Structure 1
Amino acid sequence: MPPKKQTLLLALSGPSSSGKTTLARLLHRSIFPPSTTLLLHLDDFYLPESQLPQRAGLVDWDSAGALDLVALESTLQHIRMHGSLPPTFVSKEDSNAVWAVSIPSETISALAVSTREWWTAGRIGEYVSQIVIVDGFLLLGKSIPQVRELFDVRVLLRAGFAEAKMRREARSGYVTLEGWWEDPPGYVEKVVWPGFVEEHAFLFTGGDVEGDVDEKAVRTLGIEVAPKGGLEGMLSWVVDIVRQGVERTIDGEGSG
């Protein structure tokens, strides 16, 4: 009797402007074989702006209180069961631009070739129907363990405060349910970065999210934390982590 095919959920999380969406789109569109991946964005689960919490006197888009967690969990469970997005689901996040890809096309092509050879040689398609890539700033945070536990592979990208601030402030704005949002002055310092630190400090030694990883904490939770470095190296690392996660899950050793 052939094995039952599985839908694998990959969490690609990290601070704002750490490269999550860029890498997720590359994995989905360029690296893995066509029709083997789905892409979902956490930003598609924001509540209406009128319902968002406040922080430092500003609208807070960077906390769990800004998200429709019921809809997120329901969507992930539907994907797990059916291997597809709910029929009524429409993404607005695909309308948002991401920072320009500086990765050489040769690197992307080489990763695509090796990944597709791995997929075929390992007969992955006999065991896996879809790899669902979910990118978002708060998939692995301290306050929503019920979301974190839904994922088979859990990846946390890294970016320092200065780097994240530079990239975020280079963006013109974001498409929202109501239309358009532009960060007010000081938004990264007052809202974005403090929110990330509060949710992820428990994964780092001494709570320093720019310092050393707390190896015991991440190992216990099955989280893979990216090494520091540029986007090209990060892409290669993520591809390797996803492959390992797929193989562990097929062998019955997935993180759950």
Structure 2
Amino acid sequence: MTDVLTLVFKTFMSQRNVRKDVKVPPLSPTACSALVVGDQSISRSVLLLAAVTAASEMGMKVIFFTQTQIQSLPVSLQKCVPSLSPQCLKKIKFSYPRTVEELLQQVASLHESTNTSPTPPSLIIVDRLEGYLRGPRDGSHSGFHPGEQSCAAHLSALLCDSAAFLTHLLKQRSSSSAPCRLIASFQSEGDTGQTSHEASATDPILDVLDRYFQVRCTLDRDRSYEAAAAGLQEAWHIYFSETAITEASSTKDHEDRPGVAQEWQLLIFPDGLMEFRLV
């Protein structure tokens, strides 16, 4: 969600770029889901930062679905959050479904009361949706499963329904963490060698996902001479989709709130330190 992601960027904002008027946008009941589109490794770092920030700064219980085992936080995150307490990490539950069928089953199980007691999760994160939707890669088969668009729609609908169900539970219990947010990441097959905007323009799966995720957060690598000359390991532009802003509030409201950021820059230094800057 934009409030969680903006809090992440603000929390790890470059001290040279701090602006007091940057505000976390108010949350709309109809805009509780975000899709992070772009490079796998960077999107995973953003998702992990979101999980850690939500748990430590907002007191949220987080469930994090991913196919790849997470043994420890990446070096970049350890540098960003050196004093993270074990109690905060206990609020994050990592789950490792291997296939889309297993993911569907585990997401559906969130509706069972035994899995939502005593405190339901208030943030659902799914790492690398494309890994669940793509078929096996051998000499003759690659890309997505046949019927991948309907599979993407089924999975997205179940995720959104589960978030709505958990929101209802959180409100029943008068939880300050309501509503339940949903953040997932996705990389188009054409992202390599293209900007995320170019790749996503021709991706039918992303068209389906956009029907369910109200916020698009796009990561585009900055390959300019200026970024290389600055001695950075990597530099990325981060764009919130226009739909995300208009759904969260009216255009007039947005014009009245100039501190709500639509574009950020992520700087990654050779030592692994990550900084966000408001553009």
Q: Normalising by the residue count of structure 2, what TM-score does the alignment of the two structures yield?
A: 0.33
Q: Looking at both structures, which has the greater relative contact order when contacts are Cα pairs under 8 Å and sequence separation is at least 6?
A: 1
